[in-house]
Structure 1
Amino acid sequence: MSAPVVAHPPQGSGGRRVTVGGQIVGLAHNDTDFLEFLRGAGRPDAEGLLDDPSWVLWRGRRAHSYEAA
């Protein structure tokens, strides 16, 4: 099974598109944004999920990095 939450590679202007279950929930510019999107998607326990690879797949750059390369 693939992780249900994906942090896509940072975009040219910075920020990562975040998808939950294949649906775009927003563009995160930091962990605070990311956590709010997860909470809005019904995950009140979001803080414990960011570093759990069974929940979040960080693509393109290291985890917690939101700046474009």
Structure 2
Amino acid sequence: MNIKVVRGNPTPEELAAALAVVRVRAAAAATAPSGAEGPRDAWADPARIADARVPAPGPASWTRTYWPS
């Protein structure tokens, strides 16, 4: 694996830290089961806002998001 710095001038410590993160992520991806997906992003999870709330009618009701169950 080759890593190339295309912008900036990192210090050796910054480059070592970035390389450590890349190597840890690569090792974690290599040991993960083939069908497993990563952690779900909390903002993309419909359950965050669809906890059986029914939107109340009103002048500002169009601003609320509703995910049917």
Greater share of residues in helix: 2
Specify the TM-score bucket, using the shorter chain as the normaliser.
under 0.3
Higher RCO by CA contacts (8 Å cutoff, separation 6 or greater): 1
**TM-score, length of structure 1 as denominator length:** 0.23
**TM-score, length of structure 2 as denominator length:** 0.23
Greater share of residues in strand: 1
Report which of the two structures shows the higher radius of gyration computed on alpha carbons: 2
